[in-house]
Amino acid sequence: MKRVLASVLLAAAFPASAETLHQRTLTLDTHLDTPMHFARQGWSFGDKHSYDTDLVQVDMGRMDEGDLDGGFFVIYTEQGPVTAEGFAKAKAFALGRADLIRTTLAKFPDRIALISTAADAKRMDVAGKRFGWLSIENSYPLGEDLSLLKTFYDLGVRLAGPVHGKNNQFADSSTDTPQWNGLSPLGRQWVAEMNRLGIVIDGSHSSDAAFDQMLALSKTPLILSHSGSKTISDQPRNLDDARIRKLAEAGGVICVTTVFLAPMNFTPERNALFGQLENIGTMTPEEQAKLTRETRALDAVMPIQNTDFEAFMKSLLHIIKVAGVDHVGIGADWDGGGGVKGLEDIGGLPKVTERLRAEGFSDADIEKIWSGNVLRVLRLAEENAAQH
């Protein structure tokens, strides 16, 4: 059913050749922040919403429109105090978010499934269903209890990063002043436990030193779920090309983001709106509509970044050149600040496939970029865990 619907939706907007290729390609995105919306009153993930009148960039309707087969739904926890009280509050939040993702996907059993392996993704695609894994952005909720990684693994987590925008008990953040000069002693234990369980390490948001140490310590390749190149835009969240090459040499994958392509306009007004957005699940429909209007009004006069689809493609093509086609994926940071002019939501994803084909990439290479490279790393993590 999803292929038939996607074919109808795509045919109206994209050339037949690109539409056919995109439709038959297994596509996934490694960083979907959409779960913050799953508890909203009067809103359903199963519907198709409008970018202009709703803040969400990913829903089942647009998964059909843009033929996004699946991806990693993020358990994001805001960094709080590194204390017992902070850990307890964060743990409760993260477990609740994991449950919310699972129950939301379970509402649509004929359309999407929660999966746990690379083989599951292939199986769901053949069956004509969308799919999702869980991922952790910021391992802060684990506190100092690494046994909780198994708890989250059992819930479906297969990708996790140690840190977000501020340092925590595991590692330094790329956007904070160094505390550990990379990983903490507990962070090194975190790497070993991630390997043992078969959860892929996500290097996005980690400091350069933490990235270097994870790359050296991990027995399986890393994924950067939503990162870019400092050559394109010299910002702390991006990785220099030398490190991108080292990631590739170690078998890893950098999934290219639509964020940090240009200077970011994180003004006080924008940050205040982001703060409200984190709590959108507790808002009334009227409050949600007001937040949407205010956000779109600010977007019109001062977008988060003043850039477009061509800038994203320039970044993607540069990173493919640096890392090689076997080590690049897509992680646009949808619903986490992602999207650019001309690629505002996932409905436009066939444009990426169309452009890659126009640049001369083979069908096989395009499949690697959209999913094959990430699935390879997942399989390696599974195989390594099976040997323990």
Nearest-angstrom CA–CA distance, 137 and 140: 9
Nearest-angstrom CA–CA distance, 130 and 111: 6
Residue 19 is predicted with a pLDDT of 58
Residue of 369, 323, 299, 337 lying closest to 25 (CA atoms): 369
Identify whether the C-beta of residue 160 lies closer than 8 Å to the C-beta of residue 152.
yes
Residue 330 parent element (H or E)? strand 328-330
Segment 244-282, tens digit of pLDDT: 999 999 999 999 999 999 999 999 999 999 999 989 999
Give me the half-sphere count of Cα atoms (radius 13 Å) on the Cβ side of residue 52: 0
| Strand partners for 171 | 183
Q: Is the pLDDT of residue 195 over 50?
A: yes
Helix, strand, coil abundance in the chain, percent, nearest 5:
50, 15, 35
Segment 209-224, tens digit of pLDDT: 999 999 999 999 999 9
Output the CA–CA distances (angstroms, integers) from residue 161 to 5, 59, 74, 130, 201, in the order listed. 35, 24, 11, 24, 6
Give me the half-sphere count of Cα atoms (radius 13 Å) on the Cβ side of residue 347: 19
Nearest-angstrom CA–CA distance, 256 and 228: 6
Identify whether the C-beta of residue 334 lies closer than 8 Å to the C-beta of residue 59.
no
Residue 388 is predicted with a pLDDT of 77
Identify whether the C-beta of residue 47 lies closer than 8 Å to the C-beta of residue 243.
no
pTM of the model: 0.94
Segment 86-140, tens digit of pLDDT: 999 999 999 999 999 999 999 999 999 999 999 999 999 999 999 999 999 999 9
Q: Is the pLDDT of residue 375 over 60?
A: yes
Nearest-angstrom CA–CA distance, 95 and 269: 31
- 359 SS3 class: coil
What is the average pLDDT value for the chain, to the nearest integer?
Answer: 95
User: What is the residue-wise DSSP string for 182-237?
Assistant: SB-HHHHHHHHHHHHHTPEEB-TTB-HHHHHHHHHH-SS--EEEEE-BTTTS--TT
Q: Is the pLDDT of residue 144 over 70?
A: yes
Residue 344 is predicted with a pLDDT of 96
142-163: average pLDDT: 98
